[in-house]
Amino acid sequence: MDENSSARLKRRLLGIVHRIGLFLAMLTICLPGLWIVLSSLRPTVEIMAKPPVWIPQEISFDAYVSMFSGIGKGGIPVIEYFRNSLIISVTSTIIAVAIGMAGGYAFARYRFRGKSSVFLGLMLTRTVPGIALSLPLFFLYVRLGIIDTHFGLILAYVALNVPFTIWLIDGFFRQVPKDLAEAAQIDGCTRWQAFWQVEFPLAGPGIASAAIFAFLTCWNEFALASQLTRSVSAKTLPVGLLDYTAEFTIDWRGMCALAVVMIIPALTLTYIVQKHLVGGLTSGAVKG
């Protein structure tokens, strides 16, 4: 009896500790982000204040209104940037995931000569620092005439993301027991069908997380985009952030507002996609 209640007490205590820990962790994660959101809604005089103004005195959407009000009135071509970002990120994510699925499947399911060195080689392409790539890439792109185009940036982003989509997806395919697909093949499926009907759904979470990664990488990438794009026809949102800086001045509130415009779709997408992280998961049935 005594033991029982102390165990219950302990569990409840642990539960509370867990909840507090979780709360603190989330707070740390969200505070810097919320500061950005607040900064976009408050006049600069309150944000960069000393003594600090902790409780917002004045909330307004001025920064958002002026963002859309056109050049010369504090506006920037946010619609165009948004469109470019969306096209480039979505397309390159889809391609990178497709290539990653093919590659990951090859590594997880086939044995071939030099497998691990090929794998390592693929990964190592990622170690090349952007700075060593940016100028030669610029040379090539100018020669090919794909500078400042969606295509050029999509190509670069696919290459940027392929190594780790392959890696992630490989890892998750390995987790899907081989016998499942083999069983399906014995049941009369082709390898192709077995892949789509058995292995693909089971590797779902891996593919979903690879896709989220790839998307967010593209959505936020700055260094290559600033080098390979030039005008509103291809500039992406991160590059657009710098529209709020001039040589000697910065419009921090405007920048925060644009940042919020960037964050909302990414957050929404993550919210939608993350359920597939578990959605494809099989509870007991698979492993049993």
Binding residues for other proteins restricted to 131-160, rule: CB under 8 A: 131-133, 135-140, 142-143, 148, 155-156, 158-160
> Is residue 192 a contact residue for other proteins (CB under 8 A)?
no
Structure tokens at 59: 């909330």
* 194 counts as binding other proteins under rule CB under 8 A: no
Cα distances (angstroms) measured from residue 284 to each of 155, 216, 281: 41, 32, 9
When asked if residue 63 is in the footprint of other proteins (CB under 8 A), the reply is no
Candidates 88, 167, 198, 261; binder of other proteins (CB under 8 A) is 167
Cβ neighbour number for residue 182 with a 10 Å cutoff: 13
Report, in Å, the least distance between residue 259 CB and other proteins: 5
In the complex with other proteins, the residue whose CB is nearer, 8 or 230, is 230
Supply the DSSP string of 27-86, one letter for each residue. HHHHHHHHHHHHHHHS-HHHHT-SS---S-S----HHHHHHTS-TTTT---HHHHHHHHH
Contact call for residue 285 and other proteins (CB under 8 A): no
Candidates 16, 79, 123, 186; binder of other proteins (CB under 8 A) is 123
- Of the two residues 42 and 184, which places its CB atom closer to other proteins in the complex? 42
Q: How many residues bind other proteins (CB under 8 A)?
A: 126
Q: How far is the CB of 186 from other proteins (least distance, A)?
A: 19
- Count CA within 13 A, CB hemisphere, residue 270: 13
Contact track, other proteins, 204-243, x by CB under 8 A:
-xx--x--xx--x--xxxxx--xx--xxx--x-xxx-xxx
Q: Which of 68, 83, 91, 177 binds other proteins (CB under 8 A)?
A: 177
Return the range that interacts with other proteins (CB under 8 A); candidates 1-9, 182-190, 193-201, 275-283. Answer: 275-283
- Contact (CB, 8 A) for 40 and 256: yes
Residue among 191, 133, 120 nearest 160 (CA): 133
Q: Residue 13, SS3?
A: helix
Q: What is the tally of helices (H) and strands (E) in the chain?
A: 15, 0
Which of positions 32-61 make contact with other proteins (CB under 8 A)? Answer: 32-33, 35-36, 43-45, 48-52, 54
Burial of 274 (0-12, 13-18, 19+ CB in 10 A): middle
